[in-house]
Structures are given as C-alpha cells and as structure tokens.
Amino acid sequence: MAMSEKMTYAQAACLALQEAMRADPRVVALGEDLGRGGVFGQYRGLPQEFGPERIIDTPISEANIMGAAVGMALAGLRPVVEMRVIDFALCAMDEIVNQAAKNRYMFGGQGRVPLVARMPIGIWSASAAQHSQSLEAWFTHMPGLVVVTPATPQDNYGLLKASLASGDPVIYMEHKELWGLEGEVTAGKEVPLGQARRLAQGHDLTIVTWSRGVGVTLQALALPALAGIRADVIDLRTLWPWDKDAVYQSVAKTGRLLVVHEAVQASGFGAEIAASAAQETGCRVRRLGAPRIPVGYAQVLENEARLTPEKIAGAVHALLAQLH
C-alpha cells in the first residue's frame, strides 16, 4: 500500500519532476533561476542531483528558452520549460502558438512536441498588473495545446507526472499563491488528464472552478451566508480537455451552474463552460470572475480583482434567486 506524506504544493511538483528525471534521461528542465532551485523552490535539490546539463539555467530571454525547448522536444528530449510566471510567457507566444501547438498537425504527426511549459498564474500579492494575470483562456483557445491547472499538492504531483507522459505540449499552470499550501501526497498516484474531481455533493446548484478557486469556493460554502445550501463542487483540474461529462451530469441534476475563476470574467474560460452546459442541458448559468481591470499594486485595488468567499456567496444567492 502506497504511503502518503504531507508536503507543500511546490515540494509535490519537485518530487514528480525528480521521479520523472530519474526514470527517463530524456527529461530535462530549462529556464531562469533553476540553478538556485526556482523562484518558489519548485526545483529545490534538483540542480545538485542532476547537474547543469539537465537542470539548465538560462539567460533572461523567454522566446529563446521556449524556442530551444521546442527544438529539444522535436529532437527527442522531453523538456520542462520554466517561465517563472505566466506574464513573462507572453514574450514566447509565437514559439508556443505557432511552433509547439501546430507542429504535430502541420507535419502529419511526423513530429511531436512533448514539452511541459510551467506558467504560474494568478494574483501574486503586491505584485501588480504585470505579475498577477490569469490567462488560461488564451491557451484553451489554441488547438494543439493541453491546459492543466492543479489546485492541491496531490494534483500538482499527479498532474505533472501525467503531463510529462502525455507526448503533447502542455501548458501547466500552477498558482503563484499556492506554493506553500500543504496536503497529503501519495507518491505514484496517477491523476489522469481530462478528469475532474468532485469535492462536495448537493442538489441546489453546481459550482465549477479550478486552481485557487477551489479553496476559496470551499471557504465560501462554510460561510453562515450559505448555511443550508448544498452544492456540487467540481474542480476541473484540466481545462483542455475539460471533463464535460462530469459537468453535464451534475447540472442535469441541479439545474443551475455557477462557474468561478480568478481570471477576468470577460471572455474567460468560464464562458465556454457556461455556454456549453446551457446548450447541452438547458440549465441556468452564472459566471463569477474578475472585473476587466489591471490588478492594482495597492491592497484596496488588488482586492477588487481578488476572488473571495464573500463574492462567491453573493453569486450563489444571485443564481438561486433567478426565476425559472
């Protein structure tokens, strides 16, 4: 029987990568600050074990990092690309969108790009507009990319292992404020891509969320304001492919769907989920995301963009109050 161990979200990902690198010499990692264990400690100990040929500390040039990784993948390696935060990945969009995502299709499957691009998302306290973005919808829009958003230490372990084994380019979105989150992690436990996780069951409504939204949603359901309300809570875990069956089955039961995400609500991935579910089941839908504003540096401005239990509670009541 596999034993579980308490560890942080960052340690869980580090363990997954360590196991993959020990098992497969083709797995390498490259990016800025890897030589010192990563900005968040998510590579701690790996430079000492695997050396600079497999844990590659790069210059500050995201386009070059991603371009090199695409070339490595086409040549037979399985690179893990560290973008530090998703905001910096914008400098490498051509390599991601026009090279990594399209290669398998454009060359009839002769080339594969089995890379994992780690792009931490979300608000990073007091880090302002250029370090606090959630851009999941950009990447779910692009054919050829897998998009993953782990919410717990166990999922950060299991989903990273699954991403490394997938054989396609994976946009792997850890949340900047979850690195210190602790939880039980069972080494070797697989978490399949495309399979959601149900966290709570109820008949009043379905709440679909991911990443940091998972913990905030569970906090909201514990508020006195939501006493007596029972919700199905679904953590998608993978945004592409997303688990349509799990969502449709739930909303067929509850008849109401609330999609919760930290990303800007306008054109967010929640709109895709809401529209698809309404089209398939006829359920009532509501979305909760950030206003279409840059994340401010000042705490009072940052709070306007933050997802909170109170905002979720308000959205739940608004959905339940809608007439048939």
Question: Which position has the token pair 């497999």?
Answer: 54
Strand, helix or coil for residue 201: coil
- DSSP track, 118-157: E--BS--TT--TTS----HHHHHTSTT-EEE---SHHHHH
Give residue 178's identity as a one-letter amino acid code.
Answer: L
Give residue 156's identity as a one-letter amino acid code.
Answer: N
Stretch (H or E) spanning 287: strand 284-290
Which residues form the catalytic set? 131
Q: 171 pairs with which residues across the strands?
A: 117, 147
Encoded tokens for 315: 């959205």
CA 192/CA 237 separation, integer angstroms:
10
Give residue 299's identity as a one-letter amino acid code.
Answer: Q
Cβ count near 49 (within 10 Å): 11
Please answer whether residues 42 and 95 qualify as being in contact, where contact means their C-beta atoms are separated by less than 8 angstroms.
no
Longest dimension (CA), the chain: 62
CA nearest 314: which of 232, 229, 197? 229
